[in-house]
Amino acid sequence: MALSLTSLTHCLPPFLSILGLFLITCPTLIPFAKAKEDFALSSSTLKLPKTQAQKLIRQLNLFPEHEINISPGHPTTLSESRIVEKRFRLPYLGNSGATLEDFGHHAGYYRLPHSKDARMFYFFFESRNYKRDPVVIWLTGGPGCSSELALFYENGPFHIANNMSLIWNDFGWDKVSNLIYVDQPIGTGFSYTSDESDIRNNEENVSNDLYDFMQAFLKEHPQYAKNDFYITGESYAGHYIPAFASRVQQGNKGKEGTHINLKGIAIGNGLTNPEIQYQAYTQYALDMKLITQSDYNNLSPLVLKCEQAIKLCGADGGNSCYSAFIVCHNLFSSILKITGNINYYDIRKKCETDLCYDFSNMESFLNKKSVRDALGVGDIEFVSCSSYVYQAMITDWMRNLEVGIPALVEDGIKVLVYAGEYDLICNWLGNSRWVHAMEWSGQKDFGAAPTTPFTVDGVEAGLHKNHGPLTFLKVYNAGHMVPMDQPKASLIMIQNWMQGKFRLTELKNGLSPQ
Ligand SMILES: *[C@@H]1O[C@H](CO)[C@@H](O)[C@H](O)[C@H]1NC(C)=O
Ligand SMILES: *[C@@H]1O[C@H](CO)[C@@H](O)[C@H](O)[C@H]1NC(C)=O
């Protein structure tokens, strides 16, 4: 079970404990003085990250009982850093016509070596197609939301029906890959620690954990070490993915551990270069007629302030990044004030009474005793989204993660940046802009490359542009969660891209369930 965090706040002066922020590093905690001078933070802005995190979770109709998974122990007590994995068969799974035993579905824990006591939880689904298919890892954003959100609502092998039974997903990415979902950063989902100093604050720590996990995974499953490896994910994973990929390249080049056969990264509606992406909000909103030209003009001083704050974060780090979060949040919320109760993950929709999506079945499902027993999670509770992890990552938010990508593309690592066209928060325009602005040897050619239609079943499903290892794709009729809104297009996208033939072709072996 998870513990309440009250015991962690002892070293904070009372006025700061409302923050619930950085509770771990007490000595370096009080540095808000500078931020206060610069931006005259009020107590309400000091509370903002927490309010934001709670709002995010509520909007998804999730009610995690705890803010973070801090737990004293687990039945599978691991002292050494290794994987403990269990092949599972979930109750509630309807018959697909094949015998379920044929599918290698696994869940496991890994004790992170560079931690006091952290255990990373993951799901691993062997490909429904072919063992030599690439290994694909998926990372959900938040920061602080469990990757099981994607497993059950986007590209996993099955979805949850309203009556809590599982239904096979004909377009699960496990049809073309050996698919891994990890709960990270630590404290999210079923991942937990007994020591709060294991809570991560930056991409260096996040990517080290992911690298260590991948090393252990390949040690446990050496037969997959030669397969191609792809890092994928969504939203805040626009930060995690480039950091993790750079960490893998560093490990490969330094001959650390097992070589990880990284072939590409795919970022879906990600936040990667905040300076460019925050500036694109008003243009996207204007183009989509969410705001008027005069709104646009009125907002431009805020855009400028946000841009300057992000620059300062890039230069100084630390508190200036906290300030940038506050200042730029003000820009975003000013747009939302104009647009009303719009669903900013999908502007075609409204958030009814604050509810933008309903992912509550996932919580109910994963908290069932029979499911927990099958997964071997003992009495660890499921924290669907951790507001604490969100807050702990707050000075990471405005960092520019694009900086590591040129080195990846120069190494021939494929980079796919895709975006559903109706997402506001990580909109396609901002993503397209940073992809075009990125400096690398193919920048000019990429800029000059033609935009071509991406078709599915002979119907145009998006627009794409490619040069060398770099591809940008705008997906039609989709919001923030492309695999949820366009499951078939997303499966064809990932397969064609991995096979290096991102063209108008369909899957060879069709898309019927196997
Ligand atoms: C649960 O719902 C699914 C999808 O609506 C349906 O196919 C299935 O038969 C239902 N199962 C039970 C036990 O009612
Ligand atoms: C965490 O990040 C800090 C600061 O970047 C670094 O000094 C430390 O070594 C990192 N620890 C791990 C386990 O990655």
- Cα 68 off chain centre by: 17
Distance 208 CA to ligand 2 centre (A): 8
Instruction: State whether the beta carbon of 202 lies less than 6 angstroms from ligand 2.
Output: yes
Position 213 pLDDT exceeds 80: yes
| Token reading at 251 | 């490990």
Distance from residue 207's CA to the centre of ligand 2 (Å): 10
Q: State the angle between helix axes of 274-287 and 319-339 in degrees (0 to 180), rounded to the nearest 10.
A: 10
Share of the chain above pLDDT 90, in %: 74
pTM above 0.85, yes or no: yes
Q: Domain 104-137+168-184+204-270+401-498's class?
A: alpha beta
Residue 47: what pLDDT?
82
Gap from CA of 240 to ligand 1 centroid (Å): 37
> Minimum mean pLDDT among 178-192, 195-209, 353-367, 478-492: which range?
353-367
Question: From atom 3 of ligand 1, which residue's Cα is the shortest distance away?
Answer: 161
- Residue 165 Cα: closest atom of ligand 1: 1
131-147 average pLDDT score: 96
Nearest CA to ligand 1 atom 5: 161
Q: Report the Cα 330 to chain-centroid distance in Å.
A: 23
Cα separation of 276 and 433, whole Å?
7
pLDDT recorded at residue 347: 97
d(CA 116, CA 1): 18
DSSP state of 151: I
For the beta sheet containing 262-268, the strands, ordered from the edge strand earlier in sequence to the opposite edge, are: 83-87, 105-111, 119-125, 178-182, 135-139, 229-234, 262-268, 414-420, 470-475, 459-467, 452-456
Using the mean position of ligand 1's atoms as its centre, give its distance from the Cα of residue 385 in Å.
Answer: 27
Tell me the average pLDDT of the chain. Answer: 87
**198 catalytic, yes or no?**
no
Q: What is the mean pLDDT of residues 193-207?
A: 95
pLDDT, residue 76, reads 55
Closest-CA residue, ligand 2 atom 2, reads: 205
329 catalytically annotated: no
The 10 Å Cβ neighbour count of residue 170 is 14
Q: Residue ranges per domain, the chain?
A: 104-137+168-184+204-270+401-498
Pairing of strands 470-475, 414-420: parallel
pLDDT digits (tens, 9 = 90+) for 311-359: 999 988 889 999 999 999 999 999 999 999 999 999 999 998 889 999 9
- Residue owning the nearest CA to atom 12 of ligand 2: 205
